[in-house]
């Protein structure tokens, strides 16, 4: 299988509090820095499973950008299509975690992937059109999303919505998306339905596939995932694990459904849940 990923590669700076976070105070924490980015995380998880992965992203001409490119190449991601920006800093994601590992608050600065120009993307139209699966994360501009879908010319497309702030970037293009991965908040934003029950999650999922998406997967943390296509919907429970860090768990879920994109709806959702659980247990 050959996959092309278009999205963000950035540095994650993760602070995990040693006790329950006290707002407005200085909280003792363990802090770590690692390679990240939704697109890059998905690409890494696929490459580590011997999938042939090309990635298109933009990073700054700076130490963080160099670190990301070198570490990505080392694990098997083809970085030939990475765009190096001289006047833009490499993206950074900053997260504060509760001592339980749950996210307290996160911040992202993604000017590099959002600065990709149409000519820069068109240069790589071959790996966009010819891949078995194109994966897009919404850390790129709406203009570039539209162009990527045009260059894809009808092949299978999977989208990871990334955040509530960015999910609106695909509202015009839902009919061109075969697989859409959302979390609960993103699904609420896109559907306009408050997801306070399983029935409402099902209703929101059918709302989204009714607007053209082939399959939608709504992740809900410990409540599991709802998967739906135009004919059916189903719920797959989460796998109980000791959570070390939630950062990247959604990306792991996306990698699982990408690995099994030709499978039936249920087995695809189960693969996503399994990938996410494995990631939650081994995150450091």
pLDDT tens-place string over residues 95-112: 999 998 888 998 988 899
Mean pLDDT, rounded, of the chain? 94
Longest dimension (CA), the chain: 52
| Number of Cβ atoms within 10 Å of the Cβ of 281 | 12
- Asked whether residue 249 falls in the same domain as residue 151, the answer is no
How many CA within 13 A on the CB side of residue 33? 7
> Where is average pLDDT lowest: 196-205, 236-245, 272-281?
236-245
- Asked whether residue 54 falls in the same domain as residue 127, the answer is yes
Q: What is the distance between the alpha carbons of residues 161 and 191, in angstroms, rounded to a whole number?
A: 13
Please compute the mean of the pLDDT values over residues 209-223 and round it to a whole number.
96
**Using an 8 Å Cβ cutoff, are 164 and 189 in contact?**
yes
What's residue 283's pLDDT?
55
Report residue 279's pLDDT band, with 50, 70 and 90 as the boundaries: confident
* Residue 243 clears pLDDT 90, i.e. is over it: no
Q: What is the distance between the alpha carbons of residues 241 and 188, in angstroms, rounded to a whole number?
A: 26
Report residue 282's pLDDT band, with 50, 70 and 90 as the boundaries: confident
What's residue 110's pLDDT?
86
Q: What is the distance between the alpha carbons of residues 99 and 28, in angstroms, rounded to a whole number?
A: 10
- Which CATH number goes with the domain that contains 64? 3.40.1190.20
Give percent of the chain with pLDDT exceeding 70: 98
Please compute the mean of the pLDDT values over residues 159-165 and round it to a whole number.
95
* Residue 281 clears pLDDT 80, i.e. is over it: no
- Asked whether residue 7 falls in the same domain as residue 51, the answer is yes
- Asked whether residue 144 falls in the same domain as residue 191, the answer is no
Give percent of the chain with pLDDT exceeding 90: 87
- Asked whether residue 118 falls in the same domain as residue 5, the answer is yes
Instruction: Express each pLDDT in 172-212 by its tens digit.
Output: 999 999 999 999 999 999 999 999 999 999 999 999 999 99
In a domain, 161, yes or no: no
**Strands annotated E in 88-160:** 91-97, 103-109, 133-137, 157-160
b vs e for 243-280, b when ≥16 Cβ sit within 10 Å of the residue's Cβ? Answer: bbbbbbbbbbbbbbbbbbbeeebeebbbbbbbbbbbbb
**What would the two tokens of residue 143 be?**
């203009």
249-259 vs 38-47: helix axis angle to the nearest 10?
50
- Asked whether residue 5 falls in the same domain as residue 115, the answer is yes
What's residue 242's pLDDT?
78
Q: What is the distance between the alpha carbons of residues 96 and 263, in angstroms, rounded to a whole number?
A: 36
- Asked whether residue 143 falls in the same domain as residue 205, the answer is no
- Asked whether residue 198 falls in the same domain as residue 98, the answer is no
**Using an 8 Å Cβ cutoff, are 184 and 146 in contact?**
no
- Asked whether residue 3 falls in the same domain as residue 142, the answer is yes
Structural domain span for residue 219? 180-284
Q: CA nearest 6: which of 120, 165, 171? A: 120
- Asked whether residue 185 falls in the same domain as residue 227, the answer is yes
In a domain, 175, yes or no: no
In a domain, 191, yes or no: yes
The structural domain count of the chain equals: 2
């Amino acid at each position: 299988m050959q996959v092309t990923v278009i999205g963000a590669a950035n540095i994650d700076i993760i602070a995990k509090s040693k006790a329950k976070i006290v707002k407005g105070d200085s909280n003792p924490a363990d802090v770590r820095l690692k390679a990240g980015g939704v697109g890059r995380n998905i690409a890494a998880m696929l490459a580590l499973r011997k999938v042939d992965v090309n990635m298109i992203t933009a990073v700054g001409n700076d130490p963080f950008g160099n670190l990301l490119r070198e570490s990505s190449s080392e694990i098997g991601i083809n970085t030939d299509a990475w765009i190096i920006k001289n006047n833009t800093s490499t993206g950074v994601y900053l997260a504060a975690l509760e001592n339980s590992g749950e996210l307290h608050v996160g911040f992202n600065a993604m000017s590099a992937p959002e600065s990709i120009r149409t000519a820069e993307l068109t240069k790589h139209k071959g790996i966009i059109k010819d891949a078995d699966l194109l994966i897009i994360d919404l850390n790129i501009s709406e203009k570039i999303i539209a162009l990527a879908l045009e260059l894809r010319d009808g092949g299978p497309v999977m989208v990871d919505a990334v955040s509530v702030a960015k999910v609106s970037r695909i509202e015009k293009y839902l009919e061109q998306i075969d697989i859409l991965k959302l979390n609960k908040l993103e699904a609420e934003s896109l559907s306009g339905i408050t997801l306070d029950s399983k029935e409402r999650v099902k209703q929101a999922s059918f709302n989204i596939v009714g607007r053209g998406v082939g399959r939608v997967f709504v992740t809900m943390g410990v409540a599991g995932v709802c998967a739906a296509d135009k004919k059916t919907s189903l719920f797959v429970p989460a796998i109980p694990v000791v959570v070390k860090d939630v950062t990247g768990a959604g990306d792991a879920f996306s990698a699982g459904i990408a690995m099994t994109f030709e499978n039936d709806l249920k087995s695809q959702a189960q693969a996503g849940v399994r990938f996410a659980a494995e990631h939650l247990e081994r995150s450091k």
